Chains A and B, each alone.
Chain A
């Protein structure tokens, strides 16, 4: 842990919300410009990784418990697939977003892509954070470095 790196800690604290905000921007701007769920998930996971590097793994685990990360990584896939199933229930094919707004198919496409990208972002960010926790926590579980 970097107790003595005052500047590093302050700068990190200042930057964390900005990183998250940028992640959300990439997430929800994905249908107009470059970006989308995967990129956004990576950026948000980077915020957690930075926090863990500067403030230590234990603090990071308090912010994002491993159990919760597991649930979120599963939930993201369910949101993606669930959208597709919803389209089926509404009478279309799997992932046929037009059914979400039959009067305005373009709106339907918009809602659909937002929903599935949200699922992608959720799974990617929590899975990447989880991978980082598991790899960096190897030593405490008795792994040979």
Chain B
């Protein structure tokens, strides 16, 4: 039990080389599925422990922090760990049939090896309490996800992965430069220790520079407008299961890193008060939300449409962070959770469509609701959640965001959020209209409903969208506790 913080990273890390060595076939998939469920169980246990008894610290190699690497689990990262583990546990069963159809047979075991490494990296970034260790895990997850995206069956996946590689590497380099500068003035890499030493050095130019590098680097990884250009291609051309997994977890983990750096390492007064980050984040995110929502409306491919919508949703999270208030941060963290659920459900539904008709172009989905009613219904409910219709998870996030905006007296921001929700109605409707009301072309008359092995994961996430739209005690409740802990407000 006490080893869970390390074990939940070590388990997928060690399973990855085993999966690579296993023969191509079902075995690597079964191993990956078993590991992801094991990790989910550990994540649940950790969150329960943290909520019950407070933060957990784990000393790697028995070296006490701040000298050794510390894994530190508090409410915020236990929650993010649960999101990553939960999405992983739902996507891996889906990946079995989906990847068998999309990935060449000879690459199957390597596919699962890369998948497990991405998983390891994302969990590691979230669990670690050491900022350099965070960079290392960032690279593990990024390098393996570049390769995963390149496995898409469209040859354009290669250029998409290359684009992501260049942008991601620049982002990681900026992050590392920031970490290096901080180390040069404080002599420590432990996040808690940094947070203690930095307030005395706030006047130093080096610290300001480090802050700028860290924020720019994370913003690249987070696909904050206008640094989002790598994201639409990467999500569009990646294999279906990979799109769902990365869309629901990778950028969320980047949001976590942003929150950790701004609020834990530097502290809210410095990040949003002393440095001019608040206007930058708000202006960029608002432009980003509007522009990328409009771009989503113009897309011809459903996956690409969802990718642009992801950039818009990340903009909402950035706005939530920029408020710097408990309510704003609660909104951002809740949206991290809810957005993972809705984008997971939507991308998985599209994965089921791709499994049957081999395409996700909106034009090709004409009349599909007649032959794949359950898949399209799942997409529709996920879409409603994305729009923010009451009784879905999306409504809860929007509610908190708008309350946070009104609390600041920024009514214009609330208006913009309502308008962009209308844009979301337009782009979701665009897919639904074609799939539901167009005639099914003759050539597709023999298409059948997606198999149960694909439908079950999709509907698990759809059900979660509805559940957490009604019962917010868990999602918003834990998010509020995490926000209070970050801002130092007594719970």
Contact = CB atoms under 8 A, between A and B. Distances in A.
B47 interface: no
A107 B376 CA distance: 63
B21 A95 contact: no
A50 interface: no
B6 interface: yes
A65 to B, nearest CB: 14
B20 A95 contact: no
Contacts of A88: 3, 6-7
Given A88-B3, A93-B61, A74 B14 contact: no
B17 A94 contact: no
A37 interface: no
Interface string B169-182: 00000000000000
A77 B16 CA distance: 9
Q: Counting chain B CB atoms within 10 Å of each CB, which of A71, A73, A94, A97 scores highest? A: A94
Nearest to B5: A94
A98 B18 CA distance: 27
Interface in A62-94: 70-71, 73-75, 77-78, 81-82, 84-85, 88, 92-94
Given A81-B10, A84-B10, A92 B62 contact: yes
Contacts of A92: 62
Given A85-B10, A94-B61, A78 B18 contact: yes
Contact of A95 (B7, B13, B16, B60): B60
A82 B6 contact: no
A74 B31 CA distance: 15
27 contacts: A70-B20, A74-B17, A74-B18, A74-B21, A77-B13, A77-B17, A81-B10, A81-B13, A81-B14, A82-B14, A85-B10, A85-B14, A88-B3, A88-B6, A88-B7, A92-B62, A93-B58, A93-B59, A93-B61, A94-B6, A94-B7, A94-B10, A94-B58, A94-B60, A95-B62, A96-B61, A96-B62
Interface of B: 3, 6-7, 10, 13-14, 16-18, 20-21, 58-62
Given A71-B21, A78-B18, 12 more contacts: A70-B20, A70-B21, A74-B20, A74-B21, A77-B17, A84-B6, A85-B14, A94-B3, A94-B10, A94-B58, A95-B61, A95-B62
